[in-house]
Chain A
């Protein structure tokens, strides 16, 4: 149903858009200013002279590219593992009747509510003992812990929506339980799988507290943590333009992923499966 937007609504939209996007625009504009311009305290919004020197600098900065590599590696591995585990767990929770099902769900929820910060010092000690400190697994494991509950909840909601008959039809058609799961259930739960994947990826990509505490070198430090080390030679004059550039670069993958997958995250993929 098409509804004509009143002037009030349009004004509201514009206000909200400015509110949300102004900082982003500012960061973008900063990233195109020269270091000299930002350190001298430039008052204007747009750069006096546009430069891409910041991008050149940051991409040739070994520490930053290492951090970028770590970020990608850790976030992608955490996402893939989390989605795989969550898919199996959610399927079991949605479909099978087993003892302790409610316990599993409540514990998952409890973990999701647990503050990350409170775990940092025990994890720090444990990881040093287990030689996981400053390694990729050292970050991937806690990321899995914090993203699995949400992924399980999202996916089990999707699995519950899929009619039982789909699976039974597949079994009658000659599929094993595994084939029915892979060829019918997972494709139907695809929007849920993508939703879970994106949420997990964002968490791992943006996470700061664990990343700064459980790493010590660029062997495993991720971009958000690495950025806190960009202080420059003068502690009173941090290189704002470089920081802004790093922020822009870190945001790009997130935007690309959202644009790629937003079409997949459409509800109602199951429409037409059964008579409603």
Chain B
């Protein structure tokens, strides 16, 4: 077991495109670290650089106090679970799990003991003699994990291990992975594009966008204190609502009326003109189901377009018109998040007891204390409580590094990158 330190890691491909740009993440010993982001954000590349399947263009990869940049994968003693499991189809489950031990030259008794230990942990005992081709997706997944836990690896690396499973199995395996990791207490780096996995599994979560680390924080910090529009939109399901807003004193004016926000938040956002207000769906409520005591906030009237009733709660959709500059920023955000939203609308999470129907003119309560205000031009969260937002790579240093890299990336360097 070991800590993994990534210091200013850069991965540049032959065409000079930085897939990973100046990412620094410290994974503590025994920590469960999640790398999350939409496709193409460089999370898998980063993981493959940790394990040694990708060369590192610049920066230091330190595992257990040892710089491993130039070590081959086999010398790094890491265990990895691949997205498509990569089981050896010509070997039985037993031999698949035993494979790393055999390579290490373990004795037959030791192999047998460790394989049986791993297989009982993963409930694979009755499948040991079968070939991977005859196993179900969940069983294959467990074999892949068995191959990882059978060695005394310094860390586990998971590359989207659950994305090939169906939804129900995914939930079960997620819990299983969490339980296993807590029990073994082994340093784990887990790549996913699924924010639910990120939130539920991780001790800390690193959110990446186009190769740049956006925020590194605990799930709770990410959820309550997103550093920018991207993180705010990525974390949470359904996602945070974004609306155009202007601020005057501590009054925030939005398409459906004004709300009052706390003084200290309002102060940070003064004088910025048009802003984007971010409110999570659960911070709205049907005013009619609220206890009379819970009146911290404002209400507004809106015409509900669609209601999705799920039993314990319901989602109401309220379309609104946004001014072009906000519209553009929101569309860009959707593209960054791999989404494709056709209209600007509010998603409101209602209590299951709510009787609001489609087409109703409903009175909606909004808890404005939880509202965030974002600068539409930079996407930066103006109301950020930086003491509870984890690590944020400072904007200036990132830009500076990017600039330096442009300067460094001479033709000779690019050629070298092509050859590797």
Contacts and interface: CB of A to CB of B under 8 A. Distances in A.
A252 interface: no
Interface string A165-179: 110111111111001
Interface residues of A, number: 25
B89 A269 contact: yes
B289 interface: no
B207 to A, nearest CB: 26
A163 interface: yes
Nearest to B76: A172
A188 B87 CA distance: 12
Given A168-B53, A172-B78, A272 B87 contact: yes
Nearest to A187: B90
Interface in B49-103: 51-53, 72-74, 77-80, 82, 84-90, 99-100, 103
Contacts of A165: 82, 84, 86
B82, B86, B133, B137: residue with the most chain A Cβ atoms closer than 10 Å: B86
Interface in B93-149: 99-100, 103-104, 131-135, 137, 140, 147
A168, A187, A271: residue with the most chain B Cβ atoms closer than 10 Å: A168
B164 interface: yes
Given A269-B89, A272-B134, A275-B164, A173 B100 contact: yes
Nearest to A168: B53
A165, A168, A175, A272: residue with the most chain B Cβ atoms closer than 10 Å: A272
A172 B74 contact: yes
A171 B89 contact: no
Contact of B137 (A169, A175, A184, A275): A275
Contacts of B103: 173-175, 179
Nearest to A271: B133
A119 B61 CA distance: 58
B72 A171 contact: yes
Interface of A: 163, 165-166, 168-176, 179, 183-184, 187-188, 190, 269-275
23 contacts: A163-B86, A166-B86, A169-B82, A169-B88, A170-B88, A171-B74, A172-B80, A173-B74, A173-B99, A173-B151, A175-B74, A183-B99, A187-B90, A188-B90, A190-B90, A269-B90, A271-B133, A272-B131, A272-B140, A273-B85, A274-B84, A275-B85, A275-B164
CB-based closest 4 A-B pairs: A272-B133, A274-B84, A165-B86, A169-B86
